[in-house]
Amino acid sequence: MATISISYDCLTPESLSPPDSELIARALEARTNAYAPYSHFRVGCAVRLSDGRIFCGSNQENNAYPSGLCAERVALFAAHNDLRGAWITDIALVGGAGTDIDEEPVFPCGACAQVLLEFESPEHAVNILCAGSNRVLKLTGATSLLPFGFGK
């Protein structure tokens, strides 16, 4: 029997590094643009590239439900559309119903993890910050989220 183990840091918001705090702040800001009239669950995401640029996204729902898109893919597709030779270094995610984000971290859904897996540079594992107001889980590499991602 083979085993896969996943390592992660469990941090308090106060103990984050300034760049991690900044990226989460950008995700919180992006969350204010969420369009979630159906689920009322608002998600914000921020993606940092190796050249320092940050792309943000929020969930965008639609009356024809499957036509909507998660915050992570809004941000990831925007970043990947304008890579200019850079690569994705970090991604931060926040979510919650109502005005405040959840106390516990929220994690990317499988479809978003699959997209991140494909966009991750083979040489540089992405830092993944899943943030709640009480604690932040920091994972390294998209395979931490999706060890058996699809690949042809």
Task: Point out which residues bind ligand THU (CB under 6 A).
Answer: 36, 39, 41, 43, 59, 61, 68, 70-72, 108-109, 112
* Number of alpha carbons in the 13 Å side-chain half-sphere of residue 132: 12
Give the residue with the Cβ less far from ligand THU, 15 or 39: 39
Give the residue with the Cβ less far from ligand THU, 15 or 111: 111
At closest approach, how far in Å is the CB of 55 from ligand THU?
15
At closest approach, how far in Å is the CB of 125 from ligand THU?
19
103 catalytically annotated: no
Task: Find the radius of gyration of the CA atoms of the chain.
Answer: 15
SS3 label, residue 115:
helix
Sheet of strand 8-11, all strands in order from the earlier edge strand to the far edge? 8-11, 136-140, 127-131, 88-97, 41-49, 54-58
Catalytic residue among 14, 22, 29, 72: 72
Give the residue with the Cβ less far from ligand THU, 108 or 141: 108
What are the residues whose beta carbons fall under 8 Å from the beta carbon of 67, sequence distance 6 or more?
A: none
At closest approach, how far in Å is the CB of 43 from ligand THU?
3
Find out whether 101 and 31 touch, Cβ atoms under 8 Å.
yes
Catalytic residue positions, numbered: 72
